[in-house]
Amino acid sequence: MAELDIVVDRTSEIPLHQQISDAHRAAIASGQLRPGARVENEIDLAARLGLSRPTVRRAMEDLVHSGLVTRRRGSGTVVAPSQVRRQLRLTSLFDDLEAEGRRPTTSVLEFSIAVGSPETTETLGLPPKAGVLTIRRLRFAGGEPLAILTNELPADIAPDYSALGASGLYASLRDKGITIAGATQRIGARVATHAEAQLLGEKAGAPLLTLDRVAYSDSGRIVEHGSHVYRASLYSFDMSIRQ
Amino acid sequence: MAELDIVVDRTSEIPLHQQISDAHRAAIASGQLRPGARVENEIDLAARLGLSRPTVRRAMEDLVHSGLVTRRRGSGTVVAPSQVRRQLRLTSLFDDLEAEGRRPTTSVLEFSIAVGSPETTETLGLPPKAGVLTIRRLRFAGGEPLAILTNELPADIAPDYSALGASGLYASLRDKGITIAGATQRIGARVATHAEAQLLGEKAGAPLLTLDRVAYSDSGRIVEHGSHVYRASLYSFDMSIRQ
DNA sequence: CAGTGGTCTAGACCACTTA
DNA sequence: AAGTGGTCTAGACCACTGA
């Protein structure tokens, strides 16, 4: 069993359990902990680091939740197979573009505040005829058009146009003290309209991945509705699930 | 603040924390706890039920993780907005089919054990030339063809053909003592080939949602590789995310 | 049998929100 | 200032696995 070289810093603002899980994440990412390797058990790790077992345990639960390790009562904790991760990641074209150092860029097609349609105000949980900011952006990766992003937000929390360009939508909201607590989303597919195809440099009838998302803040308020379309030839969604 | 009528059963096999989170799930689903409603705080709930705070806390963390509630330090726990859930669910055609009572059915197109291709054995983490079971099925909902499901499994854990038909793939594996601990998956889109279109009752060039999944057991062994295509006109993936 | 994770207790102190 | 969730401790008993 590998003993990871973990140094816990009790003066840090980072919770102890997160320091432990971060150290394991790094060790798995770097290959120091290989797939199938046993992870040190909770009791020993707690004793070695001078922490309580529940604290170490919480770190392990984080890792299980991320799909990085699996646990079995009586048997122990093992690093999850990496083929599972690598296999799928290898063919992600967008990741390839990013790995080549071609950063994604964005151009704003529309930025307008107007009275929201009945559908929009209902989706956003606003009273009828409330003001709504609509943003349409074209996202590029490696010089190639990749996606058309449409967002609708309540006008009273609308970020500045300049802030949007500088730091992205979610970062702009965070600067205004609004943090996203969660979202519900739906992934689907359809073929491109003529207008979409033209913007994206595809032929009409090309397959598109669609993402519809409604995000809410920790106070339970609906903060944003996004309707995005991605070129299926360049983009896919990767995710790990557990249980 | 609503006091939920929860009865904890200490003799039950269901963990106490799960009994608490289940009760809240039910109350939210039934509308007894409405979106925006305050949820009873941890301390009071623990005292009222005669449980410790960490036990109650674990139940709340479950709910946060499922996206059903949001929490803020100093402020409390509130039920997440239901528009977020309902809005998206309303237009899910497959859910509509299911809600109409038309159960999904499945017909098996192929069920064969053979020496695996190099790609397949590598994906499954098997030695070269190991035996691999390939299953291809056509899934219907409401009498309509919905998806083509292709699965590859190591031959030594292959379920019986009869077990597969009776209870589905994952249930068959569970009966053999194999539980799925997690998976990595990728969702993409492409257009249907002629053969796929014919099976699915679509025109060639119709958009398809694709799902590629590699699943592993709690012992860290790769158990299954699935490559599925869904008619985008009838199917989408819904998910809730947090943080 | 020893080892391991799963569950649970009864507290403690702190950071943040709201009034 | 009072209320709330976030973090942490130092134990306990149990269920399951594997040699």
Contacts with B216 from chain A: Cβ below 8 Å: 70, 80-81, 84
Provide the CA A192 to C1' D12 distance, Å, integer: 62
**Which tens digit of pLDDT belongs to each residue from A5-24?**
888 888 888 899 999 999 99
Amino acid in position B176: K
The CATH number assigned to the domain with range A84-238 reads: 3.40.1410.10
CB pairs under 8 A between A and B: 185
Q: Quickly tell me which residue has 């060790």 as its tokens.
A: A27
d(CA A18, CA B72): 19
CA-based nearest residue to B86, from B132, B31, B131: B31
Q: pTM here? A: 0.81
> What are the strands, taking DSSP E only, across chain A?
38-39, 69-72, 76-79, 104-115, 131-141, 144-154, 180-191, 207-217, 222-231, 237-242
Q: Which nucleotide is nearest to B43 (CA to C1')?
A: D4
CA-to-CA dists, residue B158 to B16, B76, B131, B172, B178, angstroms: 36, 49, 10, 9, 11
Contacts with B87 from chain A: Cβ below 8 Å: 122-123, 184, 214
Show Cβ contacts of residue A94 under 8 Å, excluding neighbours closer than 6 positions: A141, A146, A234, A235, A236
Q: Are the beta carbons of A207 and B207 separated by less than 8 Å?
A: yes
**Which tens digit of pLDDT belongs to each residue from B139-173?**
888 788 999 999 999 998 888 888 777 667 887 88
Q: Is the Cβ atom of A224 within 7 Å of strand C at any atom?
A: no
DSSP state of A36: T
The backbone torsions φ and ψ at residue B31, rounded to the nearest 5 degrees and listed phi first, read 95, 0
Helix (H), strand (E) at residue A170: helix A169-175
CA-based nearest residue to A233, from A194, A197, A186: A197
- Taking residue B110's Cβ as centre, other Cβ atoms within 10 Å add up to 9
d(CA A22, CA B91): 40
d(CA B239, CA A213): 10
CA-based nearest residue to A182, from B71, B75, B236: B71
- Domain B16-79 and domain B84-238 have a common topology: no
Q: Are the beta carbons of B220 and A79 separated by less than 8 Å?
A: yes
Domain boundaries, chain A: 16-79, 84-238
Pair A151, A168: CB distance under 8 Å = no
B68, two tokens: 């059903």
d(CA B216, CA B71): 33
CA-based nearest residue to B216, from B186, B165, B173: B173
Q: Which of A71, A209, A214 sits opposite B84 (nearest CB)?
A: A214
Residue B44: left if φ>0, alpha if ψ -120 to 50, beta else—which one?
Answer: alpha
More confident residue, B242 or B54: B54
Pair B215, B185: CB distance under 8 Å = no
Q: What is the mean pLDDT of residues B209-237?
A: 89
Amino acid in position A126: L
Q: What are the pLDDT tens digits along chain A (243 aa)?
A: 667 888 888 888 889 999 999 999 999 988 899 888 889 999 989 988 999 999 999 999 988 888 888 988 888 999 987 665 555 544 455 555 555 556 678 889 999 999 999 989 988 888 998 999 999 999 888 788 999 999 999 998 888 888 777 667 887 887 777 878 888 888 999 999 999 999 999 999 999 999 999 888 877 788 999 999 999 998 888 877 765
Pair B59, B77: CB distance under 8 Å = no
DSSP state of A82: S
The CATH number assigned to the domain with range A16-79 reads: 1.10.10.10
Q: Which residues of A111-127 are buried (b: 16+ CB within 10 A; e: fewer)?
A: beeeebeeebbebbbbe
CA-based nearest residue to B133, from B117, B118, B163, B112: B112
d(CA B58, CA B39): 14
DSSP state of A157: G
Q: Which of B70, B87, B214 sits opposite A87 (nearest CB)?
A: B214
Q: For position A195, what pLDDT does the model report?
A: 96
Helix (H), strand (E) at residue A164: helix A161-167
